[in-house]
Amino acid sequence: MPIRRDNDAASVFRNLDWPTVLIYLIMVVAGMVSIYAASYDFDNASMFAADEFSGKQLRWIGLSLVLGMVILLIDARMYETYAYPVYILVVILLAITPVIAPNIKGSHSWIEVGSMRLQPAEFAKFATALALAKLFAGYHFQLNAKVSNYVKALAIIFVPILLILLQNETGSALTFLALFFVLYREGMSGLVLFGALFAVVIFVVGLKFTEGTVIGMPSGQFAVMVMIMIVMVGMSAAYARRLEIARNILVGMFGLGAVVAVLSACGVTLPGLYVTVGAVAVACIYVVIEAIKLHRPRLYAPVAAAVCAVVFLFSIGAAFDYLQPHQQMRIKVALGTVEDLRDAGYNVNQSKIAIGSGGFLGKGFLNGTQTKLKYVPEQHTDFIFCTIGEEEGFVGAMIVTLLFLGLILRILSIGERQPTTFGRVYAYCVASYFIFHFCINIGMVIGLCPVIGIPLPFFSYGGSSLWGFTILLFILLKIDASRKSVMVY
């Protein structure tokens, strides 16, 4: 098979994925305009004034474009070749950052380079993506083949997480958890994602519904116990390849439910905690016996899931206490158990008011009053979506949402068309980061997620974030543009 040397500048632009580039350009320009609007205070200077946030962002954008061009001109194979050195370099930088970084609002995550402040955590994104892609691109690498493969992949993901946690930047650190989507795409069992989702459900239900009681236990906990039983039923059915076991558990469950209902109707109150835990325990023992009888080790999965879930449910309280008070507060606010409009809930409430007041078409550019009058804090950084929602209304917010959806789907399809594992895994990494930032940032602004301080890519003010995502995206574009020139065998 011939190797085409198709790496000159002209061919790069011929093969470039222009839809992605277009979305990128729209986003950064819209971002700058929004930043101008967010920091505009009525008797104000030009959008391009160098000492305004928007002017500074313009400078960052200019530099980003230069950076993007440079990335496009570097030989695509370099990214694979130097993936590990780049990763190690960034890890070292992350490790020394808390030491050399000055304290800015309680976080030691910014290093000063001349007059610029850079956040190494943002650059860890692309380095980690490169390293992970390189790992998977290894000869005959199969994620599920060996446990050590998981260890390696998880090490690559968790080293930056731990180092960034040391800088007290919980939000940025959590971003890397999105890379589990990549592991999933490359063969990790869907049970892990399902388990994570189930854990979130347990967490939310268990913490949110603490008011009422069912047979003497908090309604949330009771609901979770019922859910656990249902999951056991489903999993037993799936893993046993026959329905008897699932049916028997279900029958037992309803029988117990009927007995409990009758007894409480007669005025006998049962200790709900022991009843539900006992029911799960009996079901588990039954499934274990069946597993031994049928010689189906896979049947241990529902038992393990149930045990983990129960333990998790009753340790939420303790785990929750382990969080810092402001984090606890943010979670409670997002769950709606605490309506604290003055303190932790203030941001979210104000941001909902700002967005809500936008209406269908918005108040018009620079006419937003909520964001202007500084009701919404961090409006030019993490809460930039507010300004868009207020001034451009539902239409503007929808367009931004769809732009992100389009970008993410486009990246996924770019990933799937890569001839190399390296390209594909890298693309999925990029998509994962965008998914996380999109979900969390917009989710918190509209009050659906707890407040986690991470920026909206390409919109929020800040050079590090803009550069980090630009590098991330343009390396993907370059790998994609030269996909036809790689050896395929």
Partner 1 sequence: MRKNYELEKRKYIIGGFIVIVALVYLVRLFDLQINDAKYKQSADSNAFLKKTVYPSRGLVYDRNGELVVFNQPAYDVMMIPRDVHPFDTLDFCATLNITPDDLNRRLDDMRRSAGYSTYTPQRLLAQLSVQDYGRLQEKLYRFPGFFIQKRILRQYNHPTAANVLGNIREVNADDIERDDYYSPGDYTGDLGIEKSYETYLRGVKGVEVLMRDAHGRIQGRYEDGAHDVAPVSGRDLRLSLDIGLQMYAESLMVGKRGAVVAIEPETGEILCMVSMPSYDPTLLVGRQRGVNYRALVQDNSWPLFDRALMGAYPPGSTFKPTQGLIFLQEGIITLETTYPCSHGYISGGLRVGCHGHASPLPLKPAIQTSCNAFFCWGFKAMIDKRSKYGTSAAAFEVWKHHLVSMGYGYKLGVDLPGESRGFLPNDRFYNRFYGEGHWSANTVISVAIGQGEILATPLQIANLSATIANRGHFITPHVVKEIQDTVMPVEFLQRHYPTIEARHYDAIAEGMRMAVTGGTCRRAAIPGIEVCGKTGTAQNPHGKDHSAFMGFAPYQNPRIAVAVYVENGGWGATYGVPIGSLVMEKYLTGTIAPERKPMESMMMNSSIIYANTQR
Residues that bind partner 1 (CB under 8 A): 41-43, 181, 184-187, 190, 341-342, 352-360, 369-370, 372-373, 389-390, 393-394, 397-398, 401-402, 404-405, 408-409, 412, 415-416, 419-421, 428, 431, 435, 438-439, 442-443, 446-448, 488-489
CA distances from 489 to 43, 340, 411, 479 (A): 64, 61, 24, 18
Tell the smallest beta-carbon distance from residue 17 to partner 1 (Å).
Answer: 17
Q: How far is the CB of 470 from partner 1 (least distance, A)?
A: 21
Tokens in use for 105? 């609002």
Q: How many CA atoms lie within 13 A of 17 on its CB side?
A: 24
CB closer to partner 1, 176 vs 428: 428
Measured from the CB atom, is 98 or 362 closer to partner 1? 362
- Least Å distance, CB 174 to partner 1, is 16
Quick one: 229 or 440, whose CB is closer to partner 1?
Answer: 440
Minimum CB distance to partner 1 smaller for 304 or for 409:
409
For the bound state, the minimum distance from the C-beta of residue 139 to partner 1, rounded and expressed in Å, comes to 12
| Closer residue to partner 1 in complex, CB, 330/372 | 372
Whether 47 and 40 have beta carbons less than 8 Å apart is answered as: no
Tokens, residue 319: 């785990």
Taking the complex as a whole, how short is the minimal distance between the CB of residue 147 and partner 1, in angstroms? 19
User: What is the amino acid identity at position 371?
Assistant: T
Tokens of 377: 């804090």
- Dihedral sign of CA atoms 431, 435, 441, 445 in order: positive
| Count of all residues that appear for the chain in the document | 489
CB-based burial label for 197 (10 Å; 0-12, 13-18, 19+): exposed
**Burial label, 293 (beta-carbon count in 10 A; 0-12, 13-18, 19+):** exposed
- Residue 322 or 360: which CB sits closer to partner 1? 360
Nearest distance, CB of residue 460 and partner 1, angstroms: 17
Nearer Cβ to partner 1 (121/397): 397
Q: Would you say 468 and 60 are in contact if contact means Cβ atoms under 8 Å apart?
A: no
Beta carbon of residue 391, minimum distance to partner 1 (angstroms, whole number): 12
Closer residue to partner 1, CB minimum distance, 130 or 355: 355
> For partner 1, which is the closer residue by CB, 89 or 341?
341
Closest distance between partner 1 and the C-beta of residue 408, in Å? Answer: 5
| Smallest separation, CB 193 to partner 1 (Å) | 8
Handedness of CA 158, 164, 170, 173 (dihedral sign): negative
Report the nearest approach of partner 1 to the CB of residue 4 (Å).
17
CB nearer partner 1, residue 219 or residue 401: 401
